[in-house]
Copies of this chain bind each other. A is one copy, B any other.
Amino acid sequence: MTGNASFFTQAEPIRYEGRDSRNPLAFRWYDKNRVVLGKTMEEQLRFAIAYWHSLAWPGGDPFGGETFQRPWMHGSDDMALARHKAEVGFDLFRLLDVPFFCFHDRDVAPEGATLAESNRNLDVIADIFAEKMATDKVKVLWGTANLFSNRRFMAGAATNPDPDVFIYAAGQVKHAMDVTKRLDGANYVLWGGREGYETLLNTDLRQETEQLGRFVSMVVDYKHKIGFKGAILVEPKPQEPTKHQYDYDVATVYGFLKRFGLEKEVQVNIEDNHATLAGHTYEHEIATAVALGIMGSLDVNRGDRQSGWDTDQFPNEPTGMALGFYHLLKGGGFKTGGCNFDAKIRRQSLEADDLLIGHVGGMDVCARALLMAAEMIEDGVLPQFVADRYSGWQTPDNQAILKGERSLEDLAKVVDQKGINPMPRSGRQEYLENLVNRYL
C-alpha cells in the first residue's frame, strides 16, 4: 500500500454485517462465503469493478466539466498518473473485496504518439497489474480496447469507411488481447462504441456490417491462435454514441453471428441499461441469450427510465435483477462471465466514500437478487407452473409436430377430424407476479 491509497478513509475491506446493519460501509446481503445453489455467493456473482467509470471518469457531462478532481488526474507526467491510478484501483478492489476487475486499454495507460508507443505504455501498466495480481486475489474478468474515444474512430473502427482505421483498430485489438491473455483474463469483450451510423445518407450498411463480420472473425481466429481460453463477448447497445449501433440488442447480435457463422464462438455481454434503451428488459435480454445459447456475461447497472441516454447508474432494484438472474441460473449460471459494475457514481457524489458506497449498494442488490432467484428455483412453484403450461406438447403426436413430421394439411385434417376448438386457459399473470413478490 502506498501513500496514494490514502484516497479512501476506509482502511479495511468492507464486511458483511447482516441485514440490520446501519453501517453504510458494510454489506447487508452480500455474504461472500454463503452458499447459494451449490456455490458461494462470490463464485455465483463473480463481481468486477470497471476501471473506466470508477478510476478514469472525472465527473463531466455534456453540459459541464470535471467535478471529482481526483489527484491522479492532475499532473504533467501521464505515466506517473497512470501508476497512481493503479494504486488507487487496487486499493478499491481490495476494499470492496471483489474477485475481478475490467479495463479498456486506454483506461489504464495513456495514449502515445503512435500505436507502438501506446502499446508500450500499456505494457508498463500491465507489468504493475501483474505484480499486484501476484499478491492480491483480484483477477481480470475481461479486457477490451477503446476504439471510440480518439477522433480517428469518430466514424467507426471496424466499420470505418477508411480501411486504415480498420487496420489500426486490428493492431490495437491484437495488443489488448495479448495483454488480456497475459493477465489471464476470463474473457475479452468487443463493445462497438462507434460501430453504427450517424446518418444512413453517408453509410453503406452492407459494406460496414461485412467489415464488422470480418473483424470479429479475425478476433476469434486470433483467440485460437494464441490459445486464449476466455470467451469472446460482444456487448449489445442500441444507440449512443452513434445514432444507431449495429449490435442493437441480443437478437440482432444473434442474427449477426449467424450471418458470419460465429454463433458458437461468440457470446454476449448484456448490460441492463442497454436493454432498457433498446426497448427491452434485462430479464428479456438474458432469457433471449440463454434461449439462443449465447449467454456470456453481465454488465450490472441501471438507466434512468425517464431519460433516453446511458446513465450507467448503480443498480438499486433487486426484483428486476432477480428475474434476470433466474434465467441465468436456469441456464447454468456464469461460466466465464460475471457481474461487472459498468456503473458510475453521480457527478455530484464527490466524496471518496461515495465510490465505495455506490459499489456496496450495487453488490447488495445483486446479492439480494441472487437469493431471490435461488429461492424461485428451489421453491419450484414458478418453474413448475411454466412446465405445466406447456405440458400438452409432450404427447407423441404433438412432439411429432415439433420434429417436423406434420404438414399444414395434416394438421388441417386433425382440426376437422377431432373437432378441435381450443378453450383458452388463464395466464395467471397476477398470481405469478404476487408469487415473485413473495421472494422479495
Contacts and interface: CB of A to CB of B under 8 A. Distances in A.
Interface string A296-314: 0000000011111110001
Number of copies of this kind of chain in the complex: 4
Interface stretch (A5-13, A33-41, A74-82, A278-286): A278-286
Contacts of A202: 385-386, 389, 427-429, 432
B386 A204 contact: yes
A171 B415 contact: yes
Contact of A62 (B151, B241, B244): B241
A182 interface: no
A240 B240 CA distance: 15
A164 B397 CA distance: 11
Interface in A394-422: 395, 398, 401-402, 404, 406-409, 411-416, 419-422
Interface residues of A, number: 160
A290 B433 CA distance: 31
A206 interface: yes
A200 interface: yes
B392 A162 contact: yes
A309 B308 CA distance: 6
Contact of A244 (B61, B162, B306, B347): B306
Contacts of A304: 243
Contact of A171 (B251, B404, B412): B412
Given A24-B431, A433-B361, A161 B398 contact: no
Interface in A186-242: 193-194, 198-207, 209-211, 214, 217-219, 221-222, 225, 238-241
Given A62-B241, A316-B433, A401-B214, A287 B200 contact: yes
A173 B408 contact: yes
Given A258-B259, A401-B214, A28 B438 contact: yes
Contact of A61 (B241, B276, B308): B241
A429 to B, nearest CB: 5
A168 B323 CA distance: 33
